[in-house]
Amino acid sequence: MKHDLSEQKFLEYFESLTGRRPRVNHKGEAMLPCPCHDDRNPSLSINARKRVWHCFACNKGGGITQFEMLLRKCDRATARRELRTWLKGKTSGGEATRREIVETYDYTDETGVLLKQVVRFSPKGFAQRKPDGKDGWIWDVRGVRNVPYRLSEVMHTVGTEACFCMLLQNHMLSRV
């Protein structure tokens, strides 16, 4: 996969994940926030010329397939399939056909505070993200409590006590 990818497509891949255009130095290197974890200081080093990356926080590195495996928590075959799908989304002119967000699904806690969002893209795809507290997003939901979709509406319809019983039961089952 590394040799099938131009420098430009390599950079576009990381831009599509981080939402930031990499500022590449004269060696082809750039630092970005890693979308695999909460990253206040950019820890993801990419080298567009060599088409490799290293995350100093994760202490992992490799080619684009290994990054896709880490990000999606999937096997090599799935990662390569996802990358091929992403590459097919390119126009013949070489510009990215951006994955466009077509719908977002907010997951809030009992008080209405946003915990995470499920994002639906076109071409078809889904991803989850959590607020970073600075009007941005972290494309990772590790550490976020799972709650039912539209929890506040469920609580209003079913009743607060029944809903808390359901949440408690779900919490207890997740520990088994």
* CA distance linking residue 68 with residue 101, whole number of Å: 20
Peptide bond before residue 123 is cis, with ω within 30 degrees of 0: yes
* CA distance linking residue 77 with residue 65, whole number of Å: 9
* CA distance linking residue 162 with residue 126, whole number of Å: 31
Mean per-residue pLDDT of the chain? 80
* CA distance linking residue 145 with residue 117, whole number of Å: 12
What is the average pLDDT across 17-43?
85
pLDDT digits (tens, 9 = 90+) for 126-152: 888 888 887 777 878 888 998 888 887
Q: What is the pLDDT of residue 50?
A: 94
Cα pseudo-dihedral 39, 67, 127, 89, rounded to 10: 130
Q: For residue 46, what pLDDT band results from cuts at 50, 70 and 90?
A: very high
Q: Please, what are the domains in the chain?
A: 2-88 (3.90.580.10), 100-174 (no CATH)
Q: Tell me if 64 sits within 8 A of 83, measured CB to CB.
A: yes
- Kindly tell me the sign of the dihedral angle through the C-alpha atoms of 101, 140, 19, 135: positive
52 membership: H or E segment, kind and range: strand 52-55
Which of 10-14, 38-42, 91-95, 136-140 shows the highest mean pLDDT? 10-14
What is the average pLDDT across 3-9?
77
